[in-house]
A and B are shown apart, each in its own frame.
Chain A
């Protein structure tokens, strides 16, 4: 293998994929070099046999992503569920919301609301909380920062179990 072969073999995959122009000298080299021609044929077979994503995969991903990219306030609970297992998609980025933004959220067990009471016009179980103190639990519910200090050992164990195992244990 000479220098010409070395140069050609580096760019051969691009040539096979049609990413290089004819004037790159590859065609001329392949006409006189059987070894590189054989390699080009192998690469052509590989390239021809490359797979594509199965039909419907993009739609499946989009379904799982539903809600990502929209501000939190526009998303329904169902939006944050994974299409495969129905599990919540944790850790959604809070696009469109600033740290100072305030969102109305449902109160869960053991939650210490950042503000003391419900807002005007909202049901009693709804409070306002700072976005930075909220997260999604594994079952897709919105939760806030637990009041760790006020929990008994048993309550703390229950909370940890819920966070780690979804409360199934």
Chain B
């Protein structure tokens, strides 16, 4: 029976239930996982590669790699943490590939452009948002990742450490250093 079509479910299926269903061959479970986590994976990729097209590619590759390896996923970490770790590795690989190809330089990547059409009365706020995100994009990688994963995804420092491959304490230090720099630059 498909976990995603079970009428008896009074609540959305958990990630682990979806993973179990995916391992049993339920494609709908994989689709739900994609819909549930694509934004987080995309943002994690963006935090590293700072390019929407490349981040979309990384997002796709991360899901493909995760689902190929789904049989080996044993639930030692939360699925989201595991998936974002894969996204981070894919993004780093994509950056290495791009650097090798010299298609573009990271130096040329400025603050993120906003695609939101703000009303005139919100223009100042929108500019401040873009400034903040732009400064975030310019932080050193670990600080940038720690801040992005903490603020955007609400992850714990322990989860962040698992994703960016450092200790919980180091994740915390990177987060607060990043926030301090952002406050200095925004003031």
Contacts and interface: CB of A to CB of B under 8 A. Distances in A.
A116 interface: no
Contact of B42 (A38, A45, A53, A89): A53
Contacts of A51: 39, 42-43, 46, 52, 112
Interface stretch (B78-86, B88-96, B97-105, B124-132): B124-132
A121 interface: no
Q: Label chain B's interface by main secondary structure.
A: helix
Interface residues of A, number: 40
B150 A93 contact: no
Contacts of A54: 42, 52, 56
A64 B68 CA distance: 12
Interface residues of B, number: 50
B15 interface: no
A65 B67 CA distance: 8
B64 interface: yes
B40 to A, nearest CB: 9
B59 interface: yes
B25 interface: yes
Interface in B142-157: 147, 150-152, 154
Given A45-B128, A51-B112, A84-B60, 19 more contacts: A9-B179, A13-B150, A14-B154, A16-B151, A38-B187, A43-B179, A45-B186, A48-B129, A49-B112, A51-B43, A52-B43, A58-B35, A61-B34, A65-B63, A84-B57, A89-B64, A93-B68, A93-B69, A95-B24
Interface of A: 9, 13-14, 16-17, 19, 38-39, 42-43, 45-54, 57-58, 60-62, 64-65, 68-71, 82-84, 89, 91-93, 95-96
The 6 A-B pairs with the shortest beta carbon distances in the complex, nearest first, are: A69-B27, A53-B42, A49-B129, A45-B132, A96-B25, A49-B133
